[in-house]
Amino acid sequence: MPDPERELEPPLWEQWAAKSAAMPQGERLQKVLATRGWGSRRVCEDLIADGRVTVNGDVAVLGRRVDTEVDLVEVDGVPLGVKPGLVYYLLNKPVGVVTTASDPQGRRTVVEIVPAEPRVYPVGRLDVATEGLLLLTNDGDLAHRLAHPSHGVEKEYLAEVEGTVGGGALRRLRDGVELDDGVTAPAKVSQPSPGLLRITIHEGRNRQVRRMCEAVGHPVTRLVRVRIGPLRDAKLRPGEWRELGQHELKALVEAAAGGTRGVR
Ligand code: URA
């Protein structure tokens, strides 16, 4: 005689089916790859079609959905996943957006551009008038190491300045400029065209590039950050952001450890 109590309980497989039906289906593999920096959707579709992507050890087929919290995705045997819960966004900050979590003047902030959850913070800052690459993450450990002056990764800027910069001023910019908070560390400086400077520094002082250029008589009229350590992205347009790829993250972690000051 069947136990009436047990009859009330749905069989285990039914419980499991109901649970998985209620669960999100995951994201399409090509989208996951694209947002992790493996290339455009088209390029990622080709990676899958070429059999270079595996999910939990099996060669993946196009259209497969994955949950990166539980599925192990590998491209050419390299795992895709980062530490669960940690996110790393590369943003091209537009002019007029502030690099703080909130602004008393009500201006748009960088954290309003990227997803609200999980909450992320900018690593370092760019002036409201400066454009270009900015890293946002909830990985406090890496952010701290990147911001630490002793590990200070290289930051590369393109600066449009007033006038054409002469040899003496270029030398001063390279050797160190006397500012009100001390002399700047040696910098890499070139002038690819008259009035356009490419400046690489590894300090992170307030308005440093603007103050350096002003000190040698060439105020900045436009400033764009084009590289943070190993990170570059000439295709990311102002206001756009994307997640870092695995290789970028690995290179960034190395840079923060003092291994490299940048990959050229
Ligand atoms: N130097 C500046 O002057 N401004 C920035 O935003 C970054 C570096």
pLDDT at res. 232: 97
- Tens digits of residue pLDDT in 13-69: 343 334 334 435 788 999 888 876 677 889 899 999 999 999 888 999 998 998 876
pLDDT at res. 21: 41
Q: Is the CB of 189 under 6 A from ligand 1?
A: no
Residues with Cβ within 8 Å of 250's Cβ and at least 6 positions away in sequence, in order, are: none
Q: Tell me the Ramachandran region of residue 243: left when phi exceeds 0, alpha when psi lies from -120 to 50, beta otherwise.
A: beta
- Tens digits of residue pLDDT in 159-168: 999 999 999 9
- Give the whole-angstrom CA distance, residue 145 versus residue 200: 19
Q: Is the CB of 209 under 6 A from ligand 1?
A: yes
pLDDT at res. 78: 67
Q: Which residue has the tokens 């764009």?
A: 224
Q: Which residue has the tokens 């992205």?
A: 233
Question: Over 50: is that where the pLDDT of 100 sits?
Answer: yes
The model's confidence at residue 226, banded by pLDDT at 50, 70 and 90, is very high
Pocket test of ligand 1: the residue of 189, 208, 221 to mutate, having most ligand atoms within 8 Å of its CB, is: 208
The model's confidence at residue 10, banded by pLDDT at 50, 70 and 90, is very low
- Give the whole-angstrom CA distance, residue 130 versus residue 207: 9
Q: Is the CB of 208 under 6 A from ligand 1?
A: yes
Q: How many angstroms is it from 125 CA to the middle of ligand 1?
A: 8
Question: Over 90: is that where the pLDDT of 258 sits?
Answer: no
Answer for the pair 38, 245: CB distance below 8 angstroms, yes or no. Answer: yes
The model's confidence at residue 173, banded by pLDDT at 50, 70 and 90, is very high
The model's confidence at residue 218, banded by pLDDT at 50, 70 and 90, is very high
The ligand 1 atom at the shortest distance from the C-alpha of residue 220 is 3
**Atom 5 (ligand 1) nearest CA:** 126
pLDDT at res. 151: 63
Q: Is the CB of 130 under 6 A from ligand 1?
A: yes
Buried b (16+ CB within 10 A) or exposed e, 40-70: eeeebbebbeeeebbbeeeebeeebebebee
pLDDT at res. 144: 81
Mean pLDDT of the chain, nearest integer: 84
Q: Is the CB of 246 under 6 A from ligand 1?
A: no
- Give the whole-angstrom CA distance, residue 246 versus residue 253: 11
The ligand 1 atom at the shortest distance from the C-alpha of residue 225 is 7
pLDDT at res. 81: 53
**Atom 4 (ligand 1) nearest CA:** 207
Q: Is the CB of 184 under 6 A from ligand 1?
A: no
Q: Is the CB of 127 under 6 A from ligand 1?
A: yes
What is the share, in percent, of the chain residues with pLDDT greater than 90? 59
Residue with the bigger pLDDT between 182 and 6: it is 182
3-state helix, strand, coil in the chain (%, to 5): 25, 25, 45
Question: Over 70: is that where the pLDDT of 103 sits?
Answer: yes
For the chain, domains (ranges, CATH) are 16-79 (3.10.290.10), 88-150+231-256 (3.30.70.580), 154-228 (3.30.70.1560)
**pTM greater than the 0.85 cutoff:** no
Q: How many angstroms is it from 152 CA to the middle of ligand 1?
A: 15
Q: How many angstroms is it from 251 CA to the middle of ligand 1?
A: 23
* Cα distances (angstroms) measured from residue 164 to each of 24, 101, 170, 176, 192: 58, 37, 10, 19, 11
The DSSP element (H or E) to which 15 belongs, if any, is helix 12-22
Active site residues: 127
Q: How many angstroms is it from 88 CA to the middle of ligand 1?
A: 22
101 secondary structure, DSSP code:
S
- Tens digits of residue pLDDT in 192-202: 999 999 999 99
Cite the DSSP H helix spans in 78-180.
110-113, 140-147, 167-175
pLDDT at res. 149: 66
Buried b (16+ CB within 10 A) or exposed e, 80-92: bebeeeebbbbbb
